[in-house]
Structure 1
Amino acid sequence: MQNLKLMRAIIFRDYGDPQEVMEFVEDFEIPTPNKNEVLVKVECASVNAADRYIVRANYFIIRMVFGLFRPSKKKRILGMDIAGTIKGIGKNVKSFQIGDAVVADIRKSFGGGYAEYVIVNAKHLVKKPQEVSFEQACTVPISGQAAMMGMILCDIKRGDKVLVNGASGGVGSFGIQIAKAQGAYVAAICSTKKIEAVKSWGADEVVDYKKKDSIKALIGKEFDAVFDTASFECPGRYKQILNKDGKYVLVGGDFYNMLRLKFLGRFSRGSQKFMAVTQKVTVTTNIKTVLKMIADKKITPAIQKVIPLQDVPGAIHSLEQRTVIGKIVVNLNKEVSDHS
């Protein structure tokens, strides 16, 4: 019988290939909540691009945060978003109680979701609607929230034309559906193998970047907004397909493109606006909005597969190989023998 003070977790003791530096353990100590915190039993978490960047330490800032030569002992469990059940409460927490089903973005504590239990500051918690499953809910705090924030910045109106780049990923899958729910015409950019999935989420038009230069293929079609979740080229290229008042919002992709947009000037012409996503609406507010849209069946999280905890390193590897369509969900109650 498992020691009640110990839990299962996926940890990484070094930087590098996730399949080499991450490991499954059963003897990680269960943390204790402080006065403003709760202890959450993680039911489900989801895999995000941030996991791959952190494991590889792709940017020097990651080493500054997690550890210069190897991750510090306190930051060895990744997993940035969770859905679970409260099992313990700090003395100052009044708005939640033991047994509540909750959802949280835990990036500010640098993760912890790939474990049976995690500590979360109560201010980052959102109650999970009963109509939304744990598997659906865990896809929302990072991908769903980012898509909602990006779409708010795109300022979409019914009838607008929106282009989604990186349409087949977690953020893109939410972005397409949110834009459609707001009455937009949606064009999407993805690779050949992912076209059918992207169409199933509601895209009106799909450009296969494997077969043609996406932006050149769209010249002559003016868009009201570009929602870019996978920027690996100069954002300025999009100005030729934006209308004179169009908005370009960068949500994911190259870290240095994000910095360029935030600090090093604009690419716009006329009244066009180019921006990196900023948190103008609180994370918890956006999470609540997306969860309600799911509960109301206006959108559906695009879950490619559900895996057990032990399969997390392989899932992160799949992200690196760009074979993921939508989201991979980690179900902490799923046994290894269950997965195919």
Structure 2
Amino acid sequence: MDTVQYLDDAGLPLRDLPLSTPELLMGYRALRRARHFDERVIILQRQGRLGVFPPFRGQEAAQVGVALALRKSDWLVPSYRETAAAMTFGMPLTNLILNWRADPAGWRAPDDINMIQFYIPIATQIPQATGIAHAERLKGSDNIVATFVGDGGTSEGDFHEGLNFAAVFDAPVIFMVQNNGWAISVPTHKQMKVQRIALKAQGYGIPGVVVDGNDLVAVWSVAKEAAERARRGDGPTLIEAITYRIAPHTSSDDPSRYRGEEESAVWEKRDPILRMRGLLEHLKLWDEAQDKELSEELEGEFLAAVEEADQAPEPKPWEIVEQVYAKMGADQKVAWEYLRGEA
């Protein structure tokens, strides 16, 4: 299958770009914002101020491009690594910090953000994303759903069930597979026989697209087309973003035990942020002064979010049974009263 690509590894355009100047600038800012958060959160984790965290360095474009293709009324259903997508979609940074501190307050998206909490079990979000999309279709709305999964997650049964149902009922959902080369320590070629995950779309009778996952212009363009298709009622699209997990699987992982540094070095040269900046500089839309100003702005935003998270009240034991069902059942009520000491 051909790979959709608009930028070379240096960020120079290979053909006419489908994005406007404001979109290019917005996209670069979103990439930088995501990278800054990722780098700073890792420091918090090393300081003991955060739990285990799954970094996403190198995969920003594959996430940001999809999030930018969504409307405010659409839905985002992430797996555990989609922090960049979540923050681009509108999730406050304070919530994201609290989430990785295992604070229930961080899991609860504001009422005006249609996002489900991060899923830790592999691929369990796929059927749920399909269900939300099907519900939107039954309601007669043109809202769509975007969900993410890794290459390893495509081997799970939930992946098949979600795609099959979505295909049969034309559910308006974008399935974004971030093929970053590794399912923790298992390389892609040991997970499946097909050369491209997008080929699996043929088995469901839906479009499958391969995109350069480190090319924001390409990802955003492909996601836009998939979103338009879904809104028309033409059903789901499976997108495979070819990218790379430069960072460890999580903050507890040591990737040197299963892969060589030379592999990561190759992908460092394809960094999505460097490519996007190369494009903006080529178009004379960006300079060092603007970059410095943006860095200062992002650091200020991050520090404010950390301060707000630090001042948040400690979660109460009984909150573990809240926000589970729309209406608390009898068993949850008993547990809630017990944990509050009211039983």
**TM-score w.r.t. structure 1 length?**
0.32
More strand by share: 1
Larger RCO (CA within 8 A; separation ≥ 6): 2
**TM-score w.r.t. structure 2 length?**
0.32
